[in-house]
A and B are shown apart, each in its own frame.
Chain A
Amino acid sequence: MARAQSPRRRLLMTLAAWSVALLIFFPVLWMVITSFKTEASAVASPPEFLSADWTLENYAEVWARSDYPRFFWNSVVISIGSTLLGLAVAIPAAWAMAFVPAKRTKDLLMWMLSTKMMPAVAVMIPLYLVFQRTGLFDTKIGLVLALMLMNLPIIVWMLYTYFREIPGEILEAARMDGAGLWNEILHVLTPMAIPGIASTMLLNVILAWNEAFWTITLTTTKAAPLSAFIASFSAPQGLFYAKLSAASAMAIAPILILGWFSQKQLVRGLTFGAVK
């Protein structure tokens, strides 16, 4: 709803919008700034901006003190693995719900979403025990499964809202040409659905990457991802601000950058198609 406005008003609005945006972004910025300071400079009072002692030492030390590459690799495997597995299960379901809707499809979708409202803490002990017994505890495959199931309702919902916008006539035409069910999915539907699948994938990689409860509860060392890595850094009071900031920056940087590149695709998917 862009409308013509006087230059003065425009300048004022620009200033106001930029101030608000910088204020929201500031905590992240301040964390990054702090991560390049020496520990003494990080806790100096009054706070130091330009006069601070700048250093890369914190990153070097965090890198040396912990096995960052392993945590990073675990995060990558768990978030991408759980998303791909989730897509494999959800794509047929969402396709069927969108193109061959039954009487109960809407209820089924609502039920799926409602499973996400069950507080994770409430079922923490049983899942912990199940994972211990089945040997899934502290394994990447265990976390892939857990996060896949955790995000499955969202994956189905998002795909469903995208698939529903694909015109049914195209499928009927393909059917007339004698295309079988799998051909229909592979050659007709999939190419049209790729943008929707891509943004579903992006959002779920981000959700899985940032998931902290199950990843910390169900791992100790072998399969621990970056959320567990950061939890191990946040204990000491005061003395290690710069290192904590460096570790935090290393934990969020990959997904922050991915998110920035894909924010346009994300926004629509996030609303389950409620906002166009």
Chain B
Amino acid sequence: MSTQTNRLAARLMVAPSVILLFIWMIVPLAMTLYFSFRLYRLLTPERTGWVGFNNYIWFLNSPDFWLAIWNTLALVGGVLIITVVLGTLIALLIDQPVKGQGVLRILVIAPFFVMPPVAASIWENLFMHPQNGLFAAIARGFGAQPILFLEQYPMPSVIGIVAWEWLPFATLILLTALQSLSSEQLEAAEMDGAGSFSRFRHIILPHLTRAITAVILIQTIFLLGIFGEIYTTTQGGPGSASTTLPYMIFKQAIVAKDIGRAAAGGIIAVILANIVAVFLMRGLGKNLDA
């Protein structure tokens, strides 16, 4: 078989994936773009027409917009920091010669298999609920007032829940990376009198760079679209205190029933996601190359 036909065959084999993904991306995107320049409200379906950039102007001038951007960044950034830092510490701990490592792994990975609506409702009802939650019971045990987690600290609470869901992922990947580190190198450093912090700083951390890169890249992809956890717990409230960009779009579409404005928000979100994607791929893509 000649190389020529081989190349052609290869193209044909890649084509279905590319074509399907392209359609899956372009059809909804084109429709969203079309709606974003239209007057399209489900409550007054008879009034339609082109409105130019009005939907965009409304969305960008909405007082919720910058808050939503900030909340989205806080959610992604907060969860990344918590999972990478705690994940590293826990991975270092489990990597020690402890008894029952297999069972430990099983316990630690469990939250990853819990579907988001279940994770959110466990935390909301069984733990954070101001009357019946376990945290409230603990607070009462100490004679303190129960903390109104979702009312007073909605964003930190949501970040906490999402971080719990993603901590196993970060921990396991970092643990896998740690286990490929040679112990001779560490022992040599120890002989040379390197303390445990300096061993961590100069040997362990550089070794983990690739793993941390992978964790950041993969988690960001999933975290940018976080929706279910907010929908189940705070519904973006109180007020707009925990409204992220995806949630703000959802509110425009489902609560306000203004498809035009929601579509404009969608296009803005796609543009922002692409900016983040370009940065991530540039910075991290190289790192992932074998």
Q: Chain A: residues with CB nearer than 8 A to chain B?
A: 1-3, 5, 10, 13-14, 16-18, 20-22, 24-25, 27-28, 30-31, 34, 42-43, 45-47, 89-90, 92-93, 95-97, 99-100, 102, 106, 108, 110, 112-127, 129-130, 149, 152-153, 156, 164, 175, 180-181, 206, 209-213, 226-227, 230-231, 234, 238, 241, 244-245, 248, 251-252, 255-256, 258-260, 263, 267-268, 270-276
Q: Which chain B residues (93-120) contact chain A, with CB distance < 8 Å?
A: 93-100, 104-119
> Total contacts A to B, CB within 8 angstroms?
308
- Pairs A–B under 8 Å by Cβ, sample size 12: A18-B98, A24-B168, A25-B110, A30-B127, A102-B7, A122-B270, A124-B250, A210-B116, A212-B228, A231-B117, A268-B176, A270-B169
Given A114-B277, A122-B269, A180-B1, do A248 and B134 touch, yes or no (CB 8 Å)?
no
Let me know if A127 and B28 touch, CB within 8 A.
yes
Tell me the minimal C-beta distance from A230 to chain B in angstroms.
Answer: 5
Let me know if A46 and B232 touch, CB within 8 A.
no
Asked if B74 is at the interface of the complex by the 8 Å CB criterion, the answer is no
Tell me the minimal C-beta distance from B248 to chain A in angstroms.
Answer: 9
Choose one: A46, A127, A206; the contact of B137 (CB below 8 Å). A46
The residue in chain A whose Cβ has the minimal distance to the Cβ of B178 is A1
In the bound complex, how far is the Cα of B129 from the Cα of A42, in angstroms? 13
Given A24-B110, A274-B213, do A117 and B221 touch, yes or no (CB 8 Å)?
yes
The residue in chain B whose Cβ has the minimal distance to the Cβ of A121 is B246
- Interface majority SS (helix, strand, loop, mixed), chain B: helix
Let me know if A267 and B172 touch, CB within 8 A.
yes
Considering the complex of A and B, which 6 residue pairs feature the smallest CB-CB distances, nearest first?
A: A122-B266, A123-B28, A92-B13, A126-B31, A100-B10, A96-B10
In the bound complex, how far is the Cα of B7 from the Cα of A50, in angstroms? 67
1/0 per residue B213-239: CB within 8 Å of A? 110001011001101100010000000
